Structure 1
Amino acid sequence: MVRAKVPPTVRQRRLGAELRRLREHADLSVTRAGELFGVPQSRISNIEAGSYAVSADRVRALARLYECSDDVLIQALAAMTGGRTRGWWDEYRALLPTEMVEVAEYEHEATELKVAVLVAMPGLLQCPEHVRAAYNQNVPALRPFEIEHCTAFRIRRQGVLHRESPLPYTAIIHEAALRMGIGGADVVRTQLRHLMDMGEHEHITIQVIPFGQADFPAAGGQPITYACGPVPQLDTVLLDTDHGCRAHHAEDDLVRYREVLDHMRRCALDPAESRNFIHKIAKDL
């Protein structure tokens, strides 16, 4: 029996993409890079696709070949090497869309997460009642077992906020998301109380943009997740779209969304004011 090929991880693909970026910056073709490195062209292509495991020493050697002088970046790239380690999210690959599954891997690999939402509650801050109610309202409708798979997966993703070394997490939430009414008043109250409880953790910052604050960049309205890497060059922007989550790590995209998030944060209430704001909405329901 032929064993199915294991797809490259998010980390392996990103390492390959960064090595390709260094090669292109050095103005070397794949063929020429292979000649200089003493390997077939296909080996360079497979490394850049993330489908060929490469050692830390080889990453450093490739960086020297590409005349990269950023030692901090080179060390960060070398630390991304190693064999493919299965994560808990791999259990869901046959059950859920790839883009959905890989969000958990991006979150796991991040050193910090910054999220901004306008009409949807941040996934890592949703209580179980809200998660299930949201999937019950999905269009097209999900079958009961699909709702359970999706709900279990989202709740499990939240483990990055509760592990021994929890992930620093900032959520900028527009008032519209707090008032969407998903699941009815009881679920909304439970969700808002959950937000207030989560905001009590030192590693979690929640800020609210109230209605009437016109000077904020909507950025197209899609939820933004900014996943920080070990160095800024290895950051990733995840954008939720109607066609799934899309990852962006071009330098221009990173600069743009850093500015967008910084602007949104300045437009938001501070954490204490935000907690009081959320409490008032919950009390008025």
Structure 2
Amino acid sequence: MPPRVNPSERQRRLGAELRRLRTRARMSGDDVGALLDADRTRVSHIEAGRVDVPRNGLYKLLRAFGCDDGPLFDALMDMAHDRGKGWWDEFRDVVAPVGCDLAELEFRSTDIRMHEPLFVPGLLQTADYARAVIAESEGDARRVDRFVAFRLARQRVLTAELPVTFRVIVHEAALHAQIGGPRTMRRQLLRLIEAARLPNVTVQVFPFEAGAYSSYSSSFGIFAGAVPELATVILEQPLDSVFLRDGGHIDEYARMFERLSELALAPVDPEAPPESHDSRDSLSLIQHVMYKL
């Protein structure tokens, strides 16, 4: 089969990890080619995610790279032979490949940490809020409906049988933005409080008085599973998203998230009695903004 033109993020992630392991083992592309009976060009395609590796070939590579039996070995074997099909495929008529990559990454993660300085993140958006955001860049009503349905479908990871752990830090500016009007914003702020009742969801607000650190760090998400080596950072941008797979970058963003969490207000706790709010916290700030609308 010819090389893929647009490999999925899962395929690119597998290729990048194979390249990392090969480099760590101090093996050349020619060494890998000899193991697989392939030329250097095919090896390059494998490491770019454009070509699959047969199961027995991958087994040989991982053994040659010194990747012993364990979680990483099993995860790479699963990634290589996962067809990548899921509920997101039904939305490929309107959703770009990067959107489907995001949905697949959310679906396969066990832990997501997200910082959002301008909007309520997609996993916590109401239908009306999502519609107001999407309509700003999409004029076709039918496509807007499809995009909204896609965004809401992504949220099922929060209530699945084995739900993802989701920690989110939202800047206070996102609470004040008049997206969709006062009624839509009131319902959206209430949704933040309701979501925080889920045992796997933590919501914090980064207040204006905490300074400029939040704006410097921009919007990002850290997606992790059972294998730390396969964590991914996503930087959301207006026209596209950037996927970072390097361990150094992931560690830096993890430290950045923890610093944001330290500076942010205490997490939303809807079950806490009113008298416990003797100091400003995320819940009291959300309620304050909501009642002013």
The answer to whether TM tops 0.5 is: yes
Q: Report the counterpart of residue 284 of structure 1 in structure 2.
A: 292
Write the deviation string for residues 124-180 of structure 1: whole angstroms up to 9, x where unpaired.
Answer: 000011011112233xx5221221121111111111112111111111011001111
State the match for 1:21 in structure 2: 20
| Partner in structure 2 of residue 77 of structure 1 | 76
Post-superposition shift, 1:38? 4.2
Match of 2:273 in 1: none
> Is residue 158 of structure 2 the alignment partner of residue 161 of structure 1?
yes
Going from structure 1 to structure 2, the CA distance change for 1:231 and 1:85 (only over 3 Å counts) comes to closer
1:176 to 169, 173, 185: 173
Write out aligned runs for 1:57-96 (5 A): 58-68=57-67, 71-96=70-95
SS of structure 1 residue aligned to 2:85: coil
TM-superposed deviation, 1:92: 2.0
Distance change in 2, residues 1:11/1:128 (3 Å): same
Contact 2:71 2:226 in 1 (8 A): no
Q: Tell me the equivalent position of 2:282.
A: 274
Report whether the alignment pairs 1:241 with 2:237: yes
TM-score (normalised: structure 2): 0.86
Q: For residue 28 of structure 1, report the CA deviation from its aligned partner.
A: 2.4
- Hey, what's the Cα distance between the residues in 2 that align with 1:263 and 1:279? 25
1:199 to 192, 196, 199: 196
Structure-2 change in CA distance of 1:266 and 1:249 (3 Å): same
Amino acid at match of 2:292: D
Aligned residues, how many?
277
Query: Unaligned stretches of 5+ in structure 2?
Result: 270-280
Give the Cα–Cα distance (whole angstroms) in 2 for the partners of residues 9 and 215 of structure 1: 35
Match of 1:232 among 228, 232, 247: 228
The one-letter amino acid of 2:147's match is C
Distance 2:69 2:197 in 1: 39
- Percent identity over the alignment? 33
SS of the aligned residue for 2:208 comes to coil
Q: Secondary structure at the match of 2:95?
A: coil
Task: Calculate the TM-score normalised by the size of structure 1.
Answer: 0.88
SS in 2 for 1:94: coil
Which structure 2 residues correspond to residues 92-103 of structure 1 after superposition, within 5 A?
A: 92-103=91-102
Q: 3-state SS of the aligned residue for 2:27? A: coil
AA aligned to 1:156 is: A
1:263 aligns with 2:259: yes
Checking the alignment, whether the CA contact within 8 Å between 1:53 and 1:83 is kept in structure 2 is no
Q: What are the ranges of 5 or more consecutive residues in structure 1 without an aligned counterpart?
A: none
Structure 1 contact 172–206 (Cα < 8 Å) conserved? yes
Corresponding position of 2:249? 253
CA deviation vs aligned residue, 1:192-224 (integer Å, no higher than 9, x gap): 011111111101000111111016343453x21
Q: Distance in 2 between matches of 1:121 and 1:90?
A: 25
Whole-Å separation in 1 of the counterparts to 2:225 and 2:163: 15
In 2, Cα distance between equivalents of 1:217 and 1:274 = 15
SS in 1 for 2:286: helix
Give the CA deviation at 1:80: 2.4
Tell me, in whole angstroms, the C-alpha distance in 1 between the residues paired with 2:112 and 2:82. Answer: 25
Contact 2:206–2:214 (8 Å) recurs in 1: no
- State which drifts further: 98-107 or 256-265: 98-107
Hey, what's the Cα distance between the residues in 2 that align with 1:267 and 1:207? 10
The residue identity in structure 2 corresponding to 1:225 is: G
| C-alpha deviation, 1:281, in angstroms | 1.3
